[in-house]
Amino acid sequence: MLGITHLFVSNASGGVNPDYTIGDLMILNDHINLFPEHPLRGKNEEKLGPRFPDMSIPYDKALIQKAMQIGRSHGFPVQEGVYAGLTGPTLETPAEYRYVYRIGADAVGMSTVPEVIVARHMGIPCFAISIITDIGVEGRIVEVSVEDVIAVASEAEPKMTRIMKELIASI
C-alpha cells in the first residue's frame, strides 16, 4: 500500500545452532512459523494477493547471496540459517531452545515471520537479517536481560547496517 518494492527486516534473536556465537549476523534463508495466530487469517483481499500464497521462497535468494558477499568482503562473520518465530515477551526456556533446534531452526525470536508472510502474500521480495544476541545451546545458556540483548545488538548494529545499506544500494 506504501508502494515499496522490497521488504528489509532486521531483528535480535537467540542462536540455537551450536556453531553460532553472540554477536554473529545471520541472514535468514527460511523460517518456521510458530506464532499461534496467522497474519493472513480472515477475509482475503484478492487485490493484495491470493488466498493461499506460495511460501517456497520466503527470502529472496539473490539478495541473500549479495548480502553474504558484502559481509565476506568486509570480513564480517555472517551465518545463513532458519529463524523460528515464537511469541514473547519472554525469552525461551532451555527446553524451547532445544525444541526449535530439533525442528530445524538456527535462531529464534519474536518477530519477522508475520511481516514476511504478509509481504510474500503481496508478491514483495524479502530480505531479513538477525543479530544473535544470546545463545540457546545446552551448556552455554546463561541468564539474559533485555539490556544484555540491546547491548549486543548495539555493538553488532554497524555491521548489519553496512550490509543493509550496500544491499539496498545494489537494487
DSSP H/E element including 98: helix 94-102
Q: Is residue 65 pLDDT above 80, yes or no?
A: yes
Predicted pLDDT at 171: 92
The whole model's pTM is what?
0.95
Q: Is residue 127 pLDDT above 90, yes or no?
A: yes
Report percent pLDDT > 70 for the chain. Answer: 100
Residue 168 CA to residue 164 CA, distance in Å, equals 6
Q: What is the average per-residue pLDDT within 19-29?
A: 98
In contact, 25 and 72? CB cutoff 8 Å: no
Every domain of the chain and the residues it spans? 7-169
**What b/e sequence results for 8-29 when a residue is b if at least 16 CB atoms lie within 10 Å of its CB, and e otherwise?**
bbbbbbbbbbeebebebbbbbb
Q: Is residue 147 pLDDT above 90, yes or no?
A: yes
In contact, 78 and 68? CB cutoff 8 Å: yes
Which residue carries 515477551 as its cell? Answer: 89
Q: Is residue 1 pLDDT above 80, yes or no?
A: no
Q: What is the CATH code of the structural domain delimited by 7-169?
A: 3.40.50.1580
